[in-house]
């Protein structure tokens, strides 16, 4: 036998696969631990959770052993043993046990990560003893240990699942799938069928079977909503099926066990011969497949002739696509998934982007056809162009969908962070999560992971007060942090809200004045309410607050905050922040759902072309010069009862202002109902779909510019960063009662 | 002859103000004519603007400005050399560029201590090929961020 | 040309198994990620040897083993079991049920390929130890 290290080296080429697969398993673990925590106090823990956890650690153990990551192997083995005991009902889950699972997972993560970064692995002795303490000494296993297909599902309680579902009014079906080479070539296999069924109901049972002709079949027992009472059997392609009746208790008593007997559904082409006993593995019997019962079922098979009737197959030639509902069945197997490198998806997106630009050029040229061009043909071309636009939109949607992942991944990590910090700081925090299923682009997830974790960490460390302080302040002992995600049109909104001590705006302002970050005319007024929170956020992010000594002033929200803001802006989003001393803080992060393509208003400013994302535009106005009010060194406009400042883009970008005093001003109003600004431009050139390209080079970080695009002529057009244009670097007070509306 | 004499590296040569500079060719992604540069407001003075290159928006750096020489109008011979280093892709605008030579390692000497001018900072060495003097560029020094522009608006 | 079916729920593990058998001549590989897929392969891509993980979701390796060996066409098929340490009872059962041999993870690639070559060269392998 050669040394272990030799074989480890052999498998080194699979390290990337190893890390990727472990990460997948760890993501499952995090997800399931979250689910476990929420049902810990219930009398019955859902078996599928424990089984998923068991399996994940088992897989990590096996893989780690192969590539030689010893710490991970040992630790995973310990976690697996503990979970096996839990799953088999030998012990019950206590809070200490759950804590051990949580820390064990984190240490396991570190052990694997350390191998990747070639650092020293973490010490695992402590967590191993912790886990051993939770796990009773090895009890002699009875031979009927779970050597069964659905190990957890077949606990006695689970067998009653069918009956429970029936009493809930669900419809039970029995389907049979016959695999074949032809079907397989079309991509239709047992996995695909299983997924299809899982999408429309709950799969109770799946098992292979040999029929009399030695053909392999798969039996599926499915429970669907009562509403689906139509003849599903004839609707699903490639399957034959019929409603399934649970036999009466009488037959159960007769069979001497709590097995549910199933009449095999009509099979496709079976001659009416009795099936030879012993050849058939299982005649669709729903059994608890322990050793003893298995033998029982085989015996029963031999004695009871299985009727093989000729089937009336209504070959389903319908093109009905059963729209997939969200599947909750734990029978989901991951083998129909494809692992794709993110760069490949980026490339795909880029190519779609180019198609979008090309089509836009086509449209431009179509518009410019001479009038002499035959009208009928012009119409045909335009119609084709519209079809193309629609198809491209669908393609874009499709590619985007591929890149979307639920934000639950990030939220699950945060759960960990919170628990960790709770332990470290001794604070009590309840984390409330909603909208975890909201999907965002994978790239955004990767970039936002650290910033969001940073915000959550801050909320716990610096936001939520110690229990005694909270009680003294009349608050509940348990602090609350809410994580919310939702979509609004083309944006994803992520919120982090805490009911902690908030940020002391007064002190922040004082410091800002000391640093000279506020202009003098404004520093007279000390009333914090005059400053909108956006300004406070900007101050917190600016260099005046980035030194460690000043971190406590902003409740620890110093350096990291700048990174959060910059990352969000780089992704084309914006951060909104409100805080109230003593009450808490609230971060709202808007991120575009699609990074790449958006609609934008193209404008001309002093001879240069810029793009303004349409989603941030409220209106476009044409205003006479005399409608402008001058206040100190600001120009303000009043429109429909709203007042907002004007900014000359030309001045902002150090160009010469070429707007004529006698002409009307073209103003693009950006922002939202609370915060608006009017951007003065020379001309509007049109509304266009653009492909957003990030400006990543450090030389190109310019305030006010969010990215760049190309309009089809090879020239770069800069995209304005609306959020910076709304909030000034130098905060100015706008108190509506200070000026007179000129109507 | 010692072994190191055999090593020679390929370089792209370009001209700035009648002086020849060299840059390792494995850094060079492509060379293009100078056209369609979009200015970026509030960027360092040597960043003339941005251009499109292979689907990426990259900064175009005028090396004359970077080195402290006077800026001149771009001609048909001006070139944009797109280089790739350290995960950054930038374009360098030079007067002309069309040579591709192999420079033996032994002909490169470190730049003399005496050079204190701005352009001296960006040299990695000086090569002599026969009669020619070629200044070898220190690309990473070139791409270092200048003092951060003040955050306050004027 | 012989066909080997590799059954393991870990894609990485399957890759590693096939890599271990790189030098075995004249073989083609099929893969399955779970028991159902493995059994499906009996029908759509007949194989001459199976390498089977025991601990898989939904359908335990032993189930698969029994099913395969019960199929008239596959009664003599050599099945190599892959186990992890601590699955000793399963291993005994597997042999009792007719597995040709077993290997524990981590395994040395040469051990695996050695066994496979032996098994493939046996003209008619019998289930008797």
- Domain residues of chain C, as ranges? 2-121
User: Helices in A404-499 by DSSP H: which ranges?
Assistant: 408-425, 442-458, 467-472
Q: Supply the pLDDT for residue A721.
A: 80
The complex's ipTM works out to 0.85
A708 touching B, CB under 8 A? yes
Q: A211: how many CB neighbours lie within 10 A of its CB?
A: 21
C-alpha–C-alpha distance, residues A391 and C29, integer Å: 39
Contact state of B50 with A710 under an 8 Å Cβ cutoff: no
| Position B120 in a domain | yes
* Interface contact flag, A654 B41, Cβ < 8 Å: yes
- Whether residue C19 and residue A14 make contact (CB cut-off 8 A), yes or no, is yes
Where are the alpha helices (H) located in A168-313, listed in sequence order?
181-185, 190-200, 232-235, 249-255, 291-303
Q: Which residues touch A445 (CB under 8 Å, ≥6 apart)?
A: A405, A407, A409, A410
**pLDDT > 90: what percent of chain A?**
9
pLDDT at C4 over 90: yes
pLDDT band at A33 (very low <50, low <70, confident <90, very high): confident
Residues of chain A with CATH 1.20.120.160: 4-134
Q: Residue for token digits 């060379």?
A: B31
What pLDDT score does C115 carry? 86
pLDDT at B16 over 50: yes
- Radius of gyration of the CA atoms of chain C, in A: 13
**Residue C66 to residue A7, Cβ atoms within 8 A:** no
Mean per-residue pLDDT, A671-696: 80
Q: Do A602 and A611 meet the contact criterion of CB atoms below 8 Å apart? A: yes
- Kindly tell me if the per-residue pLDDT of B71 is higher than 90: no
Contact A51, A152 (CB under 8 A): yes
Tokens of A674: 């609370």
Residues of chain A with CATH 1.10.287: 342-403
Length of chain C: 129
Q: Which of A97-106, A299-308, A698-707 has the lowest mean pLDDT?
A: A299-308
State whether B47 and A693 contact (CB < 8 Å): no
Taking one residue from A and the other from B, the number of pairs with CB-CB distance under 8 angstroms is 78
What was the pLDDT predicted at A574? 75
Min Cα distance A713 → chain B (Å) is: 9
Residues of A in contact with C45 (CB under 8 A): 181, 184
pLDDT for res A291: 38
Of A4, A180, A334, the CB nearest to C43: A180
Burial tier of A332 (Cβ tally within 10 Å: 0-12, 13-18, 19+): middle
pLDDT for res A603? 92
Pairing of strands C2-7, C27-32: parallel
The CATH code belonging to domain A4-134 is 1.20.120.160
| pLDDT more than 90, % of chain B | 18
Task: For A277-328, give the DSSP string.
Answer: TTT-S-SS-B----HHHHHHHHHHHHHSPPP-PBP--------PPPPPPPP-
For residue A316, is pLDDT > 70?
A: no
Q: Which two tokens stand for residue A390?
A: 């629609």
pLDDT score, position A517: 61
Closest CB to B38: pick one of A517, A652, A715: A715
Chain C closest CA to A36's CA: distance in Å? 19
With 60 as the cut, is the pLDDT of residue A576 above it?
Answer: yes
- In whole angstroms, give the CA distance from residue A249 to residue A463: 60
Q: Among all chains, which residue has been given the structure tokens 């970077």?
A: B66
| pLDDT confidence tier of residue A615, bands split at 50, 70 and 90 | confident
CB-CB neighbors (< 8 A) of A2 in chain C: 108, 110
C106 touches chain A (CB under 8 A): yes
Of A55, A66, A208, the CB nearest to C67: A208
Q: Which residues of B touch A517 (CB under 8 A)?
A: 152
Prior bond to C106 cis, omega within 30? yes
* Nearest-CA distance C37 → chain A (Å): 6
Q: Please enumerate in sequence order all residues whose Cβ is within 8 A of that of B75, keeping only pairs 6 or more positions apart, or say none.
A: none
Say which CATH architecture domain A342-403 belongs to: Orthogonal Bundle (1.10)
**C and A make contact (3+ CB pairs below 8 Å):** yes
Helices (H), A39-155: 47-67, 70-87, 95-117, 125-134
User: Of A549, A515, A513, A509, which is closest to residue A532 (Cα–Cα)?
Assistant: A509
pLDDT class of A570 with cuts at 50, 70, 90: low
Give the distance from residue A443's alpha carbon to the nearest chain B alpha carbon, in angstroms.
Answer: 17
Among A590-604, C39-53, C90-104, the range of highest mean pLDDT: C39-53
Please count the structural domains in chain B.
Answer: 1
What pLDDT sits at residue A633? 76
Give the number of other CB atoms < 10 A from CB of residue A132.
14
Cα distance between residue B18 and residue B95, in whole Å: 8
Decide if A704 touches B, using CB distance below 8 A.
Answer: yes
Average pLDDT, chain A: 71
Arithmetic mean of pLDDT, A504-533: 60
pLDDT higher than 80, residue A158: no
pLDDT computed for residue A727 by the predictor: 55
Neighbours of B33 (CB within 10 A): 12
To the nearest whole angstrom, how far is the Cα of A693 from the nearest Cα of chain B?
7
Fold of C2-121: Rossmann fold (3.40.50)
User: Could you say which DSSP state residue A628 is in?
Assistant: E
CATH number of the structural domain A597-738: 2.40.50.180
The radius of gyration of chain A's CA atoms, rounded to the nearest angstrom, is 32
Supply the pLDDT for residue A725.
Answer: 73
Burial bucket for residue A306 (CB in 10 Å: 0-12, 13-18, 19+): middle
Stretch among A415-419, A428-432, A504-508, B50-54 having the lowest mean pLDDT: A504-508
Top-tier CATH class for A407-592: alpha beta
Residues of chain B contacting A730 with CB distance shorter than 8 Å: 152-153
Instruction: Express each pLDDT in A190-218 by its tens digit.
Output: 888 888 888 788 887 788 877 777 788 88
A562 touches chain B (CB under 8 A): no
What DSSP string runs through A124-145?
-HHHHHHHHHHSPPPPPPPTTS
**CB spacing of A62 vs C10 below 8 angstroms:** yes
Identify whether B49 is part of a domain: yes
B26: domain CATH number is 2.40.50.180
pLDDT in tens, A702-718: 777 888 887 767 678 99
B28-33 and A491-498 strand pairing = unpaired
Has residue C6 got a pLDDT over 90? yes
pLDDT over 70 (residue A253): no
Q: Cα distance from A13 to chain C (closest Cα, Å)? A: 9
Q: What is residue B90's predicted lDDT score, i.e. its pLDDT?
A: 93
Do chain B and C touch: 3 or more Cβ pairs under 8 angstroms? no
CB neighbours of residue B17 within 10 Å: 14
Domain of residue B72 covers: 7-142
Kindly report, residue by residue over A537-569, the tens digit of the pLDDT: 666 666 555 444 444 444 445 456 777 877 776
Q: If you average pLDDT over each of A22-26, A542-546, B123-127, C88-92, which comes out highest?
A: A22-26
User: Helix C11-20 crosses helix A47-67 at what angle (to 10 degrees)?
Assistant: 30
User: Chains contacting B with at least 3 CB pairs below 8 Å?
Assistant: A
| Mean pLDDT calculated for residue range A143-163 | 44
Is A215–C43 a contact, with Cβ atoms under 8 angstroms apart? yes
Contacting residues of A for C67, CB less than 8 Å apart: 208, 210, 281
Residue C17 DSSP label? H
pLDDT for A626 equals 78
Query: Which candidate from A66, A215, A335 shows the least CB-CB separation from C37?
Result: A335
Residue A36 has pLDDT above 90, yes or no: no
- Which is higher by pLDDT, A732 or C78? C78
pLDDT in tens, A167-192: 777 777 778 888 888 888 887 888 88
- At residue A621, does pLDDT exceed 90? no
């Amino acid at each position: 036998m050669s040394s272990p290290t030799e074989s480890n080296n052999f498998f080194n080429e699979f390290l990337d696969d190893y890390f990727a697969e472990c990460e997948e398993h760890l993501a499952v673990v995090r997800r399931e631990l979250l689910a476990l925590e929420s049902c810990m106090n219930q009398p019955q823990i859902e078996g599928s959770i424990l089984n998923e956890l068991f399996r994940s650690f088992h897989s990590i153990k096996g893989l780690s052993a192969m590539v030689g990551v010893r710490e991970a192997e040992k630790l995973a083995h310990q976690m697996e043993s503990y979970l096996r005991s839990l799953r088999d009902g030998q012990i019950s889950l206590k809070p200490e046990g759950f804590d051990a699972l949580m820390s064990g997972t984190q240490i396991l993560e570190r052990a694997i990560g350390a191998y990747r970064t070639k650092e020293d692995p973490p010490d695992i002795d402590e967590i191993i003893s912790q886990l051993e303490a939770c796990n009773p000494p090895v009890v002699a296993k009875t031979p009927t240990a779970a050597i069964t297909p659905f190990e957890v599902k077949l606990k006695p309680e689970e067998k009653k699942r069918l009956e429970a579902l029936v009493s809930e009014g669900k419809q039970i079906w029995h389907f049979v799938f016959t695999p074949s080479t032809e079907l397989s070539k079309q991509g239709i296999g047992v996995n695909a069928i299983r997924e299809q069924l899982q999408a429309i109901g709950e799969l109770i049972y799946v098992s292979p079977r040999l029929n009399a002709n030695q053909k392999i079949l798969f039996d599926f027992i499915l429970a669907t909503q009562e509403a689906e009472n139509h003849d599903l059997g004839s609707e699903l392609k490639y399957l034959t099926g019929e409603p399934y009746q649970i036999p009466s208790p009488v037959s159960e008593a007769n069979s001497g066990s709590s097995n549910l007997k199933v009449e095999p559904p009509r099979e496709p082409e079976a001659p009416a011969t009795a099936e030879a006993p012993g050849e058939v593995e299982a005649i669709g019997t729903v059994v608890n497949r322990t050793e003893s019962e298995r033998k029982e079922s085989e015996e029963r098979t031999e004695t009871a002739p299985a009727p093989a009737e000729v089937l009336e197959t209504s070959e389903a030639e319908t093109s009905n696509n059963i729209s997939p509902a969200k599947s909750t069945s734990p029978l989901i197997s991951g083998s129909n998934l494809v692992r794709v490198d993110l760069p490949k998806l980026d490339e795909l997106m880029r190519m779609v982007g180019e198609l979008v630009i090309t089509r836009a050029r086509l449209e431009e040229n179509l518009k410019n056809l001479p009038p002499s061009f035959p009208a009928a043909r012009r119409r045909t071309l335009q119609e084709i162009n519209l079809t193309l636009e629609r198809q491209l939109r669908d393609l874009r949607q499709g590619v985007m969908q591929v890149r979307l992942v639920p934000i639950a991944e990030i939220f699950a990590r945060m759960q960990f962070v919170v628990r960790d910090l709770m332990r470290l700081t001794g604070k009590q925090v309840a984390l409330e999560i909603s909208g975890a299923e909201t999907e965002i682009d994978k790239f955004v997830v990767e970039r936002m992971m650290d910033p969001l974790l940073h915000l959550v960490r801050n909320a716990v460390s610096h936001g939520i007060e110690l229990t005694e302080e909270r009680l003294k302040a009349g608050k509940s002992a348990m602090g609350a942090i809410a994580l919310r995600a939702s979509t609004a049109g083309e944006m994803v909104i992520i919120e982090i809200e805490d009911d902690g001590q908030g940020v002391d705006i007064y002190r922040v302002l004082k410091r800002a004045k000391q640093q000279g970050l506020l202009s003098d005319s404004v520093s007279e007024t000390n009333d914090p309410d005059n400053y909108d929170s956006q300004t406070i956020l900007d101050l917190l992010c600016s260099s005046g607050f980035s030194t460690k000594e000043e971190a406590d002033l902003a409740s620890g929200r110093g350096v990291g905050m700048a990174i959060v803001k910059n990352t969000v802006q780089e992704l084309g989003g914006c951060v909104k922040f409100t805080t109230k001393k003593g009450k808490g803080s609230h971060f709202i992060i808007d991120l575009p759902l699609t990074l790449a393509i958006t609609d934008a208003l193209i404008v001309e400013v002093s001879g240069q072309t810029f793009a303004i994302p349409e989603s941030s535009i409220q209106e476009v106005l044409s205003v006479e010069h005399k409608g402008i009010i001058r206040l100190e060194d600001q120009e303000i406009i009043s429109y429909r009862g709203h007042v907002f400042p004007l900014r000359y883009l030309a001045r902002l970008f150090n160009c010469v202002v070429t707007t004529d005093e006698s002409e009307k001003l073209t103003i693009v109003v950006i922002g939202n109902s609370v915060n608006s600004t009017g951007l003065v431009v020379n001309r509007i050139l049109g509304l266009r779909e653009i492909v957003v390209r990030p400006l990543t080079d450090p030389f190109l970080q310019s305030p006010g510019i969010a990215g760049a695009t190309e309009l089809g002529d090879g020239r770069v057009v800069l995209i304005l960063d609306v959020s910076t244009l709304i909030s000034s670097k130098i905060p100015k007070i706008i108190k509506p009662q200070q000026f007179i509306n000129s109507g | 002859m010692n072994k190191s004499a055999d090593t020679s590296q390929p370089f792209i040569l370009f001209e700035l103000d009648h002086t020849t500079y060299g840059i390792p060719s494995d850094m060079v992604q492509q060379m293009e004519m100078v056209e369609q540069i979009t200015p970026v407001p509030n960027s360092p003075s040597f960043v003339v603007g941005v251009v499109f290159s292979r689907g990426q928006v990259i900064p175009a750096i005028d090396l004359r400005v970077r080195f402290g020489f006077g800026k001149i109008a771009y001609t048909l011979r001006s070139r944009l050399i797109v280089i790739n280093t350290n995960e950054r892709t930038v374009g360098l605008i030079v007067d002309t560029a069309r040579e591709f030579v192999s420079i033996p390692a032994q002909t490169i000497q470190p730049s003399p201590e005496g050079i204190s001018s701005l352009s001296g900072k960006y040299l990695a060495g000086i090569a002599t090929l026969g009669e020619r003097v070629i200044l070898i560029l220190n690309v990473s020094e070139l791409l270092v961020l200048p003092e951060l522009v003040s955050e306050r608006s004027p | 040309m012989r066909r080997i079916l590799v059954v393991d729920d870990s894609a990485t593990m399957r890759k590693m198994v096939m890599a271990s058998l790189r030098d075995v001549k004249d073989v083609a590989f099929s893969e399955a990620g779970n028991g159902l897929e493995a059994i499906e392969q009996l029908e759509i891509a007949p194989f001459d040897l199976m390498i089977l993980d025991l601990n898989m979701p939904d359908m335990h390796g032993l189930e698969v083993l029994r099913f395969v060996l019960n199929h008239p066409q596959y009664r003599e098929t050599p099945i190599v079991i892959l186990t992890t340490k601590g699955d000793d009872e399963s291993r005994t059962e597997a042999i009792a049920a007719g597995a040709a041999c077993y290997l524990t993870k981590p395994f040395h690639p040469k051990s695996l390929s050695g066994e496979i070559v032996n098994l493939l060269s046996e003209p008619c392998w019998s289930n008797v130890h």
